[in-house]
Structure formats: C-alpha cells, structure tokens
Structure 1
Amino acid sequence: MAGTRRAQQQHNAYDVAILGSGMAGGMLGAVLARNGVRVLLLDAGTHPRFAVGESTIPYTSGMTRLIADRYQVPELMPLSSFKGIRQRVSRNCGQKQNFGFVYHREGSAQRPDEVNQLVVPSAIRTETHLFRQDIDAYLFHVAVKYGAHPRLATRIADVEIDPDTGAVLRTDSGEEFRANYVVDGSGFRSPLADKFQLRETPTRANTHSRCLFTHMVGVKPFDDSRTAAKHGQPNPWHHGTLHHVFDGGWLWVIPFDNHQDSMNPLCSVGLTLDPRKFPKGELSAQQEFDDFLARFPEIAWQFEGAKAVRPWVSTGRLQYSAHQVVGDRFCLTSHAAGFIDALYSRGLTNTLELVNVLGWRLIAASRDGNWSRERFDYVENLQQGLFDFHDDLVFSSFVGFRDYELWNAVNRTWMLGTMLGNVMLEDAYYRFQRTGRDEVFLDLEQSKQPGSPLPVSAGFNEMGTLTRDLCLAVEAGKVSTGRAAEQILQHIKHADFISPGFRLGERDTRCFNMSPGKMAKNAVWCRREAPPEIGPRMINASKGLVRMRLRGGE
C-alpha cells in the first residue's frame, strides 16, 4: 500500500505546474514541454471556451515570432500573422488593418474632424482579431502534443510551498500533485494571490473602469453610416478595431467577419465605463447597453438589429494589482498578477512578454535545479513595470476623454509607444536571427525602465510621466485640458526619438499611415539625424520586417 502511494506521488511530480490553460498557460506550456520540461497544465474549465482579449498589435505578432524561433516551437509561428492564422489555425478570426477612434459628445452631432486612426503599414500587415476559443484551444493542444500533462476540469483548492522542496497542489477532490515551481496564470481568482495575500488593497491603479461585454451578430460596419461618410480616414473602420470614445468611457467593436474568407458572423462588443461617472446600478447589462445607445444615436446606428448570442458579462471595477508577483518557487503571470483595462490591446502583449522572460529561466532551472527566487527577480520588475506603464496610459486616456483636444494629444503618446516598442522588439529579433545569440534578449533585461516600450530613450519616458502628471493635474482642476494638450504636443514636436517628418506633434496629424514614402524619409532620418540609441534600431527593425515579408509572413 505504501509502495503504491509512493509510486502515485512520483507519477504526479513535475518540474513546473501551470495554473490556467488560456493564452499564457498554453503558450508557456508549449515552450517548456518542447524544451524537455515536465509540465503539468491545470485548469478548472475546459476547451473550447469564451474569452476576451481578442485584438493583437504589431508587438504581439512580433513577440509570437520571436518566441517561436527562440524556443523552437514552429507551431507558434502561424499565430504571428493574420495569413498564418487563417491558413493553419482558424478561419473564425478577423483581420486588423488599423486602430480606429471616433470621438462622440452626448447630445451633439459627431464632428468629422474628431477621429483618430493608426494604420498598420501594408508592408507588415500581420494583425488579427483573435477568436479566442479557437486560439486558446490550439495552444493547449500544442502544449499537450509536446508532452505537457493536461488536467482540465480540475480545480485547485490549496497550494503549499516549501522554498527548499517545491509545491504540493491539492484539488477539491483530494488529489495531490507535486512540482518544483508553480506558475499561476489563472486570472483574477488566482489561488496563489489568495493563499499568500498578494493583492494590493486598494489597488495602486489610478484608472477606474468597469465593463460589460458579449459577442453579437448583426453589427453593421460603421463605414456604412452617414456619420462615417464624412470622416475620410486612411483605412475603413471595419477593417480594424474600432473604438467609440466619449467622456467617461469607450466602446469596442471587434468584427470577426471583416474579410471574404471568414466563417464567423460574430462581433465582439464591449462597453467600458468610469464607475465614478456611470455607477453600476440595478439594470441588466442589456438594458444598460440599450440606454447607452439611446444617448448616442450615431453609435446606435451600428447596432440596429444586432443581437447578443451569449449572456452579457457585467463586471465591477476592473483594476486589481499585486504588491508581489514572484516568490519562493512561484510566479503570477499577467492577469493573475493584475489588470488595468482592455484599451490599447496590451493584455496579450504583456502576456507574451512574461512567457518570453519566464521560458528560459524555467528551462534552465529544470536542468540545473536552481529554483532560487533571485533567478526570477527580473520577472517581478517587468510585471510591475508593465502594469504601471499601462495604468499611466489608460488613466491619461480616460482623463483625455473629457475633451477631444486632450484626447487627441494623449492618443499620440499611445501611437508612439506602439510604434517604437515594435522597433525595440524587431531590432532584437533581427539581431538574434543574424547571430543566433540568446544574449541579445538577455541584454534587454538590463533595462532601467522595465515595462517601458522604449526604455533606451529618456525623452520617451519623460513624455509618459509628463502626460500622466498633466492628467492628474487636470483631474484635480489645477490645469485646463487645453493647456495640458498643448504641453504634450509640444513635447512630442521637439522629441528626438521620432522623425519630425511624421508631424506627430501637430494637432491635425490625427490619422497616421506609415506609407512607403514616409518609410523612405524615415530611413534617411535614421542615418543622418536620429540619436544613436534610436537610428540603428529602426534600420535593423525595417530590415527584419522586410525579410519577414519576403518570406511570405504578411
């Protein structure tokens, strides 16, 4: 009997136990199992299942390519482009050619010049609206294919951790598993956050928002409305992620049916509100959504005849955080560690950042037996930095929603972070492809600004601090929205980290499309005028993206 118990315990022993088999757990499980790590992949639910976090950005796609190559998991490569997903993973996903923002005032007609759009360059158009139930299931199956041990419909009731020997995980049915290390990617209801009382109460986040969301059928392309006919933006709204923004919140529209090969009639819809301006009452989510549309008839046009195909989810305040995410023999990743808001689609990006920096550490620990907390210290700094950067950006945006001029300025800071963060990533990936040296990525971990998209530029990081502080002053009634907007644009106009030819510091550069002509002028700026920490990186990034396009990765 004792021998049977010992055999069972040995059978249930792993290097790494991952709680949660969503995007983070599935991808990390695939990376680890592919590299010989004994992985236990636990989840209280099953696949396929509904999930939000559906819109990628160029950094997401770039990081997916990087992880696929760095950790030699070729099955991840199709997820790095719309073309790859459509051909090899799922035809239920949508395309994303732009990030679109239409500003509205309650009780007033929408003004045609109050729109903003960032177009993904046609030369590197990789972005996707992910139908998450297909993507998450695909990643889970890749992890299992490489040897991860799956345990779905298995709820963890307790975790005990000994810094010297590892963890014991107990299910609600009394089953036990042992692991040298635990990665908690389970989300808000993190067992480890509860067990070790890691949540900050209250959260340090400045952002305040709540959300109601669902999938719908019958949502009309906004381009067909009389309102949109006056806009003249570079790319159709329906070809990307559309954000309707207004004082106190924003509404996302993420279509999965916006290309001819789509087999999915659904559209992801979510209304995000500041609860201090729009308190959550007794109305159902559908009633609250209908009441909102009644106040914004130009938005309501898009939803005439649309119907929810699944129950609405209505949340309380979205923001939560942890004062600690790394401990002895454990780590909280991404949404287990904290969350700000879906604005700007950074959730998936932050998830992949954590997969990348955790991957090599866990592989090394499984080989040399060194599971010390010190090995994972950078993960703590990165996770907290990503949280704070996103909080500053989203908080500033919600303050900006009060007045179009301020929103127009804050939106530029997001544009710059999105574009320049991708430069940092593609430069590193290009150098890795050229040399095969993993040290390229380890060098990036020496940053004094973990979590910043462009840690090498003092001017860029000063822009973020300036914007946040000005928006705090606006919220406190100490600075007008117009004055804050002027100062932000002036900082960008005189910045050394972006080509002045892009005119992103000009009020009327509301839409930006990186055309081939602009790319050519930028190359000249990189070689002649750009600071040394920017120019060479932009040149390498461009070379790498051209190489990717020539290989058919668009």
Structure 2
Amino acid sequence: MNTTDRTPEDHEDHEDHEDHEGHELYEGNEGHEGYDVAILGAGMAGGLLGAVLARNGVKVLLIDAGVHPRFAVGESTIPYTSAMTRIVAERYRVPEIEALASFRGVQDKVSPMSGRKQNFGFVYHRQGQDQNPEEINQLVVPEWQRTENHLFRQDTDAYLFHLAVRYGATPLLGTRIADIETGPKGVLLRCAEGREHRAKYLVDCGGFRSPVAEKFALREEPTRARHHSRSLFTHMVGVTPYDQAPSAAGHKQPSPWHHGTLHHVFDGGWLWVIPFDNHEGALSPLCSVGLTLDERTHPVGEATPQQEFDAFLARFPQIAEQFTGARAVRPWVSTGRLQYSSTQTVGERYCLTAHAAGFTDALYSRGLTNTLEVVNSLAWRLIEASRDGDWSTERFAYIDRLQQGLYDVHDDLVYSSFVGFGHYDLWNAVLRVWEATSIMPTMTVERAYRRFMDGHDEQILRDLEQTSTPGLPSPVGEDISALLAFTRTTCMAVQAGELAAGEAARRVFARVREATFLPAPFELGDPDNRCFEATPELLGQALEWGRTQAPPHIARLFG
C-alpha cells in the first residue's frame, strides 16, 4: 500500500474542511461550553501542550480526527530535546513529562517498546563501490552522562494525550473540523457533524493538513526552503544490526552502530535505521526504516514503495546487507516533496505550532526538539492570557519569530548536507557545522536548566528568548548563525558549479577551525576527527579552555 503524506516526523491524518461564513463570534455563547484554548491535533505536540496548560489551570479542548494508539515516526531524540523536556517538566510543574528525558524514564514509565540512542552514526556510500571504512562519522552520546531514546511514538503520544486528559483537558477524538472562525472575541469551531465549540484561543498542532493554515491561506507558495526531498518509510522486523554486516567489519567507531540512530548517506539522499530492539531486555522486534531522496533527481514513479526500496537496495548492496531478512509490518508511507512553510504562524486568536507551521526533513532529528522549543515559549503566554484576558496577537509575536527561525536553521543544515552528500570531504565538513549547531546550544539550555533549578527564577528561562537569532539561543546564536550562513552560501556555489566541492570542504573546515566560540579541545575543524565522543577527560579540557581561552560571551557557559 502506498499512503501519501507530507511529514515523516509527525504522521497524522486530517481531512479538508468546508467554508462557512457569517457567524458572529463571542465568548461563552449560551448552550455551548467555552474553553480558554482549543488544540487541534492530539499527537505529541498537542498532548504535551494540553498537559502543560491543563496542569496550570487553563481550560483546554483537545481535538483530533483520529484516535490513539496510532503510528507515527519522528522517533529519535537528541540531547537538546531532553534538556528542553526537563525544562518544560520543571517549569510547568508536570513531573510526568520528565520521564521522556531519559532512556530509563521512558522504559519504566512510558513505553518499554522504545529503544536506546547512544550515538548518531553516519556511513557514507558510493554507488557501485565498496564502502570505504575511513568514510564514517559518529557523534557519541556519552553513556556516563545520559542516554537518548528511540521513542515508540504510538506509546509516547498516547501517554502525553492521556496525561493531558488526566490533568483536566477535555478530549474530543474522532472529530473532524469543518470550519473555523476567529475574531476579536474568540474562536468558533464547527465540527463535520454539526456541533460547535468555542474558545478564546486556537492552537493548531495538526501537521501538514493544518485546518488553520488552509482556512487563512498561510502556506508560503512556493516554500522558501532551499532543500528538496521526499521520503518513504515504515516499521520492519528482521533488520540485521549493521555491526554484523560484512561491510562494517573494518569500522573503528567508538560506539556500536546498533546502539544509536544510523544514517546511510549517499549522493542524493539518506536512509535511516532506528532500532527499538537494541538494549538488554528489549520487548520490541521493530525497527523504523526510512529512505529520503531528492525528489528532483529521484521523482515518484509507478513502482510501489516496497519495489522502490528493493530497487534502491539493489544499487547499494552493502546497505542491503542489513535487510536480507527484513520485512515491513505495516503499510509503507510514501510522500511527495516534504518541504512546506508558512508566511505567518501567529494571527488573531490563533497559532500554528510544530509541523502545522512547517517542515523540512527528518535529518538530524530536530522535529521533536522544535516541538519542545515552541511549547516551552508558547505555554507561559497562554497561561498568562487565560488569567489576565490579554489574547492580543502582539503577545504571541515571538512565537512566529521563533518558528520561522527554527525553520531556517534546519533548512540551512539539511540543504548544505544534501549538497555535501555528493562528495565525502564536503559532507565531512558540513557535518562539523551540524555538530557545532548541536553541541553549543545544548550547553546553553543545560546551563539555563541548572540555574533555574537553583531557585526557580522564571526570568532565567524568559531570558533564553532574548536573542537576535530566534531558533538559536544566546550567547551562541550569532556565532552559529554566521557559520551556517557561510556554509549555506559555500554549498550554493558548489551546487551552481561555481566552486569545486573539495575547495568548498577546505573553506568550511577552515571556518570551523577559526571559530573562536567552539572549544579548541573538541577539534571539530580537524578532517580526521571523524568520531566525536565527549569523554570526561575531553570535557575537563573543554572546561579549562572555557575558563582560560574562551571569548567572554562564551566563557560564561563554563562558569
């Protein structure tokens, strides 16, 4: 079966709605229960936001066209995700959310069907050639520090949905929205079966088929995304750990591939392998598998997704070593171009969040992180609005700047990465830019969390929003933004045929080496430093660098 969808990280179904006009809006219409906030979409974003709001006294209506449990991908967490999860749990006094911030917490309290994530692994392939064991990269998540997760989303999404209901959110599943009206006094939602619901504010967490985006024509046409890709994905059983594959025998990476999220990368795309069976006592035999391709060079054809996947494996027999005994256990999902964006994500009495606002690519697992970022900044505004009655668009303007910034950061990363996929040296260089974009912001939010825990000073977290680069936190935002812009323009020159890939790689590596905001002991600018592991010894060296050599605005991260 070939199901068409647009967002691999948040697969949810919503139908088109009809337009109805001319209904006067006002709060608390007699005969109809009014809510402070109505949330469209009861997946991870909607459940998370609903739980936070309901816990803090906001009257929430949680609406979804589907029911739980249900399939979703976007399973891989990153250290930034977990740091933001802890912040949201503590800031909004929802301790049950913190379980999602650790492997042990997920296993014990949320879903024993989930897997572990101890690394980001990247193996580079050339069609028609044996895999070069020197052309691998890995970023290890230090086990002594934390373990990330491969979330079995049908369990984690249901956990958050039920948490929201437990705290008082009103659930309305199996309900399709036929029309939306917003105005100075609130929101009117008409359901397909004729019922009406009113709220003071509307948050759309519904994914690509966003009813709000459609109603108010918010999609950017064409999207500003430079990146191009489509995807096909499923869950499989019988996937062989790549560490057991003959082509992996010569690899010397510090962490087993099977202990993390594995990316097979090649000119024109990448393939993810996300196992749920990769830890002692694992209950699940499943593995999430997805193939992402530049749709301009690999357009959707007449073949079924399974046939297309099999044809891809025939071209890359050393990737196929993982799949000799594998079979899909649910229908494939196949998409057209994944990228979409919105001209605005905030308007009168409404906000688009997460994948309702836009989507780029599943590469680097930033989808869940972006969701946590938006929930963290949106929730306190909604809570205060429910108390003081100020639902003005200006109050929520930062949320639009944040989401547009998050979108552009990720587009720069994946666009540059896909250009790099055509030449290992350039890919090796672009990957260091991603590492910088991952490591330094994580240090920033983890420091903010530690300071917040000392005295629960709300201003510490609100100060994270005081940045000239929404989507990247201060004090590292401007440095990383400049590095991303340099990398993007360099890769654009390669794509235009104006610059050789090898020269582009040298320039990007030189820029990384010259970046004074990056800890020198990390050696991110060394092309031979292909596997990065933050050992206690290395972190000790970085702390010393932070105290003695770091620029003043970076030194405070090490204090």
Residue 19 of structure 2 corresponds to none
Q: Distance in 1 between matches of 2:477 and 2:36?
A: 39
For the pair 1:365 / 2:385, whether they are aligned, the reply is yes
Alpha-carbon shift at residue 9 of structure 1 (Å): 4.7
Are 1:325 and 1:332, in contact at CA under 8 Å, matched by a contact in 2? Answer: yes
Residue 210 of structure 1 corresponds to 230
Are 1:418 and 1:453, in contact at CA under 8 Å, matched by a contact in 2? Answer: no
Are 1:410 and 1:467, in contact at CA under 8 Å, matched by a contact in 2? Answer: yes
Residue 152 of structure 1 corresponds to 173
Q: Distance in 1 between matches of 2:411 and 2:472?
A: 12
Q: Distance in 1 between matches of 2:520 and 2:267?
A: 31
5+ residue gaps, structure 1, are 1-5, 540-554
Residue 118 of structure 1 corresponds to 139
Q: Distance in 2 between matches of 1:297 and 1:447?
A: 47
The counterpart of 2:533, out of the listed 498, 501, 513, is 513
Q: Distance in 2 between matches of 1:453 and 1:271?
A: 31
What pairs up with 1:191-270 in 2 under 5 angstroms? 191-270=211-290
Are 1:340 and 1:390, in contact at CA under 8 Å, matched by a contact in 2? Answer: yes
Q: Distance in 1 between matches of 2:28 and 2:551?
A: 62
Residue 143 of structure 1 corresponds to 164
TM-score w.r.t. structure 2 length?
A: 0.94
Residue 468 of structure 1 corresponds to 488
Alpha-carbon shift at residue 165 of structure 1 (Å): 0.8
Residue 318 of structure 1 corresponds to 338
The counterpart of 1:68, out of the listed 89, 97, 102, is 89
Residue 346 of structure 1 corresponds to 366
SS at match of 1:317: coil
Alpha-carbon shift at residue 332 of structure 1 (Å): 0.1
Q: Distance in 2 between matches of 1:325 and 1:289?
A: 35
Alpha-carbon shift at residue 276 of structure 1 (Å): 1.2
What pairs up with 1:354-433 in 2 under 5 angstroms? 354-433=374-453
What pairs up with 1:14-163 in 2 under 5 angstroms? 14-162=35-183
Are 1:457 and 1:497, in contact at CA under 8 Å, matched by a contact in 2? Answer: no
Alpha-carbon shift at residue 461 of structure 1 (Å): 2.0
Alpha-carbon shift at residue 523 of structure 1 (Å): 1.0
Q: Distance in 2 between matches of 1:233 and 1:416?
A: 20
Are 2:354 and 2:370, in contact at CA under 8 Å, matched by a contact in 1? Answer: yes
Identity percentage of aligned residues: 62
Code of the residue aligned with 1:322 in structure 2: it is S
Are 1:420 and 1:453, in contact at CA under 8 Å, matched by a contact in 2? Answer: no
Q: Distance in 2 between matches of 1:8 and 1:369?
A: 17
Are 2:466 and 2:474, in contact at CA under 8 Å, matched by a contact in 1? Answer: no
Residue 184 of structure 1 corresponds to 204
Alpha-carbon shift at residue 497 of structure 1 (Å): 1.1
5+ residue gaps, structure 2, are 1-26
Q: Distance in 2 between matches of 1:15 and 1:89?
A: 29
SS at match of 2:364: helix
Q: Distance in 2 between matches of 1:92 and 1:477?
A: 47
Alpha-carbon shift at residue 7 of structure 1 (Å): 9.0
Which protein has the bigger helix share?
1
Kindly provide the CA deviation profile for residues 123-181 of structure 1, in whole angstroms up to 9, marking residues without a partner as x.
2223000000000000000000000000000011100011x210000000000000000
Are 1:9 and 1:178, in contact at CA under 8 Å, matched by a contact in 2? Answer: no
Residue 552 of structure 1 corresponds to none
Alpha-carbon shift at residue 424 of structure 1 (Å): 1.1
Are 2:547 and 2:558, in contact at CA under 8 Å, matched by a contact in 1? Answer: no
What RMSD over aligned residues (CA atoms) do the two structures have, in Å?
1.2
Are 2:475 and 2:553, in contact at CA under 8 Å, matched by a contact in 1? Answer: no
Count, aligned residues: 533
Are 1:420 and 1:454, in contact at CA under 8 Å, matched by a contact in 2? Answer: no
Code of the residue aligned with 1:104 in structure 2: it is H
SS at match of 2:356: helix
Alpha-carbon shift at residue 213 of structure 1 (Å): 0.1
The counterpart of 1:291, out of the listed 301, 304, 311, is 311
TM-score w.r.t. structure 1 length?
A: 0.95
Kindly provide the CA deviation profile for residues 318-372 of structure 1, in whole angstroms up to 9, marking residues without a partner as x.
0000001000100000100000000000000000101000100000000000000
Code of the residue aligned with 2:362 in structure 1: it is A
Alpha-carbon shift at residue 8 of structure 1 (Å): 8.2
SS at match of 1:227: helix
Q: Distance in 2 between matches of 1:528 and 1:63?
A: 29
Kindly provide the CA deviation profile for residues 282-307 of structure 1, in whole angstroms up to 9, marking residues without a partner as x.
10000000000000000001000100
Code of the residue aligned with 1:77 in structure 2: it is E
Kindly provide the CA deviation profile for residues 360-418 of structure 1, in whole angstroms up to 9, marking residues without a partner as x.
00000000000000000100100000000000000000000000000000000111111
Residue 12 of structure 1 corresponds to 33
Alpha-carbon shift at residue 122 of structure 1 (Å): 2.1
Code of the residue aligned with 2:425 in structure 1: it is E
Q: Distance in 2 between matches of 1:459 and 1:342?
A: 24
Residue 18 of structure 2 corresponds to none
